[in-house]
Structure 1
Amino acid sequence: MGDRRFVILLLLLLAVLYPSSDFAQNGWIWFDSSPGRQRQQSQENQKPSAPAPRHNISGMWYANAVQAGGVLTMPNDGRPEHQPPYTPYGLQLYKSHKPLEGFDAVPPGQENDPRELCDPLGVPHVNHYQNRQTQIFQDDVKVVILYQYDNHWRNIWTDGRELPKVIDGGVQIGNETREQRFYGYSVGKWVDDTTLVAETVGTMPEDRVWLDATGRPLSDQVEVTETYHRVNYDTLEFSEMIDDPKIYTKPWATLDKLRMRLLDPRTDVMEFYCSPVERMRYNNLTDGPDPNKPANEKKK
């Protein structure tokens, strides 16, 4: 958790020390998250945009979607209407999780979130944690998505190949059996001129990944459907649906038209890694948990 707080503090410090005019020197541009720049950007977004290009979602996109309280469509706030449709096993699994965020959060040092070990978030968790700057490239056969958090990337194949078949411990592709992967196996197709629908299977089992930072579970049986709709040249809407019959009684939407805006293509991305060393330094600065002591033992 320290990595997220460290970067947030650094971003705030940069915004104070360097006004927006200083963020473009010698061709270098960094994203300016200061309140003044965000108000200016909001006003600019009201201006008419050019039409969306055909079959093209490439660009540097920004969505201010930290999602510390859980997936945006159902925040983990204890309200009954925000309770996902768990199976008995799914609910049991959720109760075994000890997250640092959400309604059932535990004190630092008592968590069992795989993210705190700096394991990859995987799909779909990567869409629900620190979703800020995202770079999308594409060519004739694939869309490549680069995520700011941990600098991970994944392919969505658009060349007509079939989605692999999920089997125990992995996927079947033709006569081959392939391993499970944090970011799974993704294929996509254009359903109209401005909308790409991607499906992902073959992700990691429930002891390796969570759905979000509040402990909602996932299994390796999940199928993730992502919809990228380019509203106009400057705006991308991102939706997501998960279908995991092992954990949830029915499919449900985890993102609904999250708006992402196009940034200057020259914008450089600040590094945002899960670093055990930086997390330890952060805990030392803030009198957080000592990783060499039991969770219930206080620092002296």
Structure 2
Amino acid sequence: MTNNFGLARALKLLPLIAAPAYLLAQTQVAKDKPPQVANTGGTMGKPFVNSDKDTRPYDKHDFNGFWARNPSAQYGQPPCPECRDPGPSYGYFGDVPPLTPAGQKRFEANKPTKGYLAESKEAEEHKNLNIAYRRAVQSSESNDPEERCEPLGLTRLVSFSGGNPPMHIVQTNEVIIERFEWFWDNREIWTDGRGLPKVDDYLPRFNGYSVGKWEGDTLVVTTVGFDSREWVDAFGFPISEKAVLEERYSRPSRNRLKLDMTLTDPENYTRPWHSNTKVWGLIPKEALTLAGWSGIAEDRCVPSENAYYTSFEPLAPGQKTKVK
């Protein structure tokens, strides 16, 4: 699939591209410290390091604004080394728990395009990584929902947002809306005091049902009601309709948004799964201006356009037809 992250923005980024998409860790700037690929646990058990030097006052309960995880390369902001993921881009990461037999079966059936190409030199050089990050296939062999322009689902939208496509947060007293540039999708976090729906009553949704409450300066969000067709992230980890996701958002400084997630899904995993810490940098509205319009781009995945691009992709050796 061609992830163009907004055609106009992608054209501006062409000089930064130095490797095939499945080998990219995350777009970097030379002056930033390269991410450590060897440990996808990343921030687990480590103190949070904040590179933001802005000491102006701000409201720790106000998340309004545009947020990105590569603020220096794309938007001319100070570098944010802590914003980047520890491994191949766009993963939930953290300490991956063992899969249940049912979870293992689903995991093996999912064929991602992200990560190191299966049996490649790079995959062999990174055997210390979970197999999920070194089993990528060509697009023609993949059954990734993204390759068919199907909804990504909440955990994947959050994990993906900010690396190239930014996230826009709109916050009121009753609800917080996260708007994601890639796939032009959104999710709602209700802070009006409502409870979660009963598991047996709700219809599964790709972005689930989310309620949030403040614990000091941390917004704690609980989400239920996932659609089991989605993946946890770009690497094919499964999720069930009975899964529960907890997100803990905070704003440790004026220009940083911090998130830690815990996924509890006993149908697929033997214990709760804690993500690595996700960090975004605040981007001034003016820095997201293209053709005189400020804001996130309408970067939709259009099936007809996607089919056109993928029609040019070659089949894998020995493959007769593409996976549908």
TM-score grouping bracket, smaller chain normalisation: 0.7 to 0.9
8 A contact 1:99–1:113 mirrored in 2: yes
| TM-score normalised by L of structure 1 | 0.74
Count, aligned residues: 250
1:47 maps to which of 43, 53, 56: 53
Match of 1:233 in 2: 254
- 1:239 is paired with a residue of what secondary structure? strand
Q: How much is the aligned-residue C-alpha RMSD, in angstroms?
A: 2.9
Query: In 2, Cα distance between the equivalents of 1:232 and 1:269?
Result: 23
Note the C-alpha offset of 1:16: 6.9
Note the C-alpha offset of 1:92: 1.3
1:78-118 deviation line (CA, Å, top 9, x unaligned):
xxxx6532111111111111111232222221111122221
1:123 maps to which of 143, 154, 176: 154
1:111-150 deviation line (CA, Å, top 9, x unaligned):
1112222111112121122533111111111111111111
User: Map of 1:163-178 to 2, 5 A cutoff?
Assistant: 163-167=196-200, 172=201, 178=202
1:230-253 deviation line (CA, Å, top 9, x unaligned):
012211111111000100011011
Note the C-alpha offset of 1:214: 1.4
Note the C-alpha offset of 1:71: 2.2
User: Map of 1:87-236 to 2, 5 A cutoff?
Assistant: 87-102=100-115, 103-131=134-162, 132-167=165-200, 172=201, 178-192=202-216, 194-205=217-228, 208-236=229-257
- Counterpart AA for 1:120: P
Point out where structure 1 has 5 or more consecutive residues left out of the alignment: 18-32, 40-44, 75-81, 173-177
- 1:259 is paired with a residue of what secondary structure? strand
Note the C-alpha offset of 1:265: 2.9
8 A contact 2:161–2:167 mirrored in 1: no
2:298 maps to which of 248, 267, 271: 271
- 1:98 is paired with a residue of what secondary structure? coil
Query: In 1, Cα distance between the equivalents of 2:105 and 2:28?
Result: 42
8 A contact 1:144–1:156 mirrored in 2: yes
Query: In 2, Cα distance between the equivalents of 1:16 and 1:249?
Result: 42
More strand by share: 1
1:62 maps to which of 60, 68, 87: 68
1:46-66 deviation line (CA, Å, top 9, x unaligned):
533324404211111112468
Query: In 1, Cα distance between the equivalents of 2:28 and 2:238?
Result: 35
8 A contact 2:154–2:187 mirrored in 1: no
What is the percentage of aligned positions where both structures have the same residue?
32
Greater CA radius of gyration, 1 or 2? 1
Query: In 1, Cα distance between the equivalents of 2:226 and 2:29?
Result: 38
Query: In 2, Cα distance between the equivalents of 1:158 and 1:8?
Result: 31
8 A contact 1:86–1:249 mirrored in 2: yes
- Counterpart AA for 1:232: S
Is the alpha carbon distance of 1:151 and 1:68 closer, same or farther for their aligned partners in structure 2, counting shifts above 3 Å? farther
Point out where structure 2 has 5 or more consecutive residues left out of the alignment: 16-26, 33-50, 71-83, 116-133, 289-294
2:282 maps to which of 262, 271, 287: 262
8 A contact 1:98–1:215 mirrored in 2: yes
8 A contact 1:89–1:247 mirrored in 2: yes
